[in-house]
Amino acid sequence: MSKKSLIAFAIAAAIVGTSGSAMAADAAAGEEVFKKRCSSCHALDKAKTGPALGGVVGRQAGTTDFKRYKGLVGADFEWTPELLDEYISDPKKFVKTHTSNKRTSMTFKLGNAEERADVIEYLKTTN
């Protein structure tokens, strides 16, 4: 590698390094996201407009005592951080991709990837 490309490589690595750490998921920030964006429909310990979310990471989807599951009826997977990220970013699309259902009763999307990562990090702490 020439000296010039070595420098370019070092700069690129530094940039990737910084943006990587800025994106690191933060459970405390995630709790705020949960309060602002999710708590109108979700509580941790009981069903509201949506199912209880305490301990959702690692749980079989669609299996709380919530009565109005629609998109997650009969879901055959457990929630991983990756699946949660995909679900929260677009529940309708997720349901079409991952279940045999066509509609979801969760009429909300969280478009901001950092907020999604934070809220998932927070949900992990509720297990």
Smallest distance from the beta carbon of 20 to ligand HEC, in angstroms?
Answer: 23
Q: What is the DSSP string of 77-89?
A: SB--HHHHHHHHH
Nearer to ligand HEC, 8 or 84 (CB): 84
The reply to whether 84 sits near ligand HEC by the rule CB under 6 A is yes
d(CA 74, CA 63): 9
The reply to whether 42 sits near ligand HEC by the rule CB under 6 A is yes
- How many residues does the structure list for the chain? 127
The CA distances from residue 23 to 16, 36, 77, 112, 116, in Å, are 11, 20, 27, 11, 11
Nearer to ligand HEC, 3 or 67 (CB): 67
Nearer to ligand HEC, 21 or 111 (CB): 111
Please give the residue ranges that form the binding site for ligand HEC (CB under 6 A): 37-38, 40-42, 49-51, 53, 56, 61-62, 64, 69-72, 84, 87-88, 104-108, 110, 119
